[in-house]
């Protein structure tokens, strides 16, 4: 079974620029998650989708971050404009049903904002 795919793997941008990350979850998984992992911390949930709909985006900084899940499959996460404190690894994960199911993580995108 193919795992969760993410691209790009690395991205370096200057502050105030925009950036987008892409995620392709495991086939058939209804729930998709985006996490932000700052160096030295554990992953923090940014947004959770169940099929097409948003289940939880309470920790998403909506003034600069946006996310969508296209046709209940792929997802993109965008930051516009980026700030220095957005430097982190952005992880995508998916699970068959909800968050109590095993979540399968992708390799992550390491974002550096200069």
- Binding-site ranges for other proteins (CB under 8 A): 3-4, 33, 40-45, 48, 55-56, 91, 93, 98-100, 102-108
As a whole number of angstroms, the distance between CA 61 and CA 66 comes to: 8
As a whole number of angstroms, the distance between CA 89 and CA 103 comes to: 17
Cβ at position 14, least distance to other proteins in Å: 28
φ, ψ of residue 80 in degrees (nearest 5) = -160, 115
Cβ at position 16, least distance to other proteins in Å: 30
Instruction: Pick the closer one to other proteins by CB: 46 or 82.
Output: 46
Cβ at position 61, least distance to other proteins in Å: 16
What 3-state class would DSSP assign to 110? strand
Buried-exposed string 44-82: b where 16+ CB fall within 10 A, e elsewhere: ebbbbbbeeeeeebeebeeeebbbebeeebebebebeeb
Instruction: Pick the closer one to other proteins by CB: 28 or 71.
Output: 28
Instruction: Pick the closer one to other proteins by CB: 11 or 33.
Output: 33
Instruction: Pick the closer one to other proteins by CB: 29 or 82.
Output: 29
């Amino acid at each position: 079974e193919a795992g969760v795919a993410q691209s790009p793997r690395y991205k370096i941008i200057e502050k105030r620029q925009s950036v987008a990350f892409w995620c392709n979850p495991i086939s058939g998984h209804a729930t998709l998650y985006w996490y932000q992992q700052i160096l030295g911390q554990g992953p923090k949930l940014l947004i959770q989708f169940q099929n097409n709909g948003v289940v939880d985006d309470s920790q998403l900084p909506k003034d600069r971050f946006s996310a969508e899940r296209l046709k209940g499959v792929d997802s993109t996460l965008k930051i516009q404009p980026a700030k220095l404190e957005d430097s982190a690894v952005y992880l995508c994960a998916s699970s068959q049903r909800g968050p109590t199911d095993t979540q399968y993580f992708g390799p992550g995108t390491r974002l550096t904002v200069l």
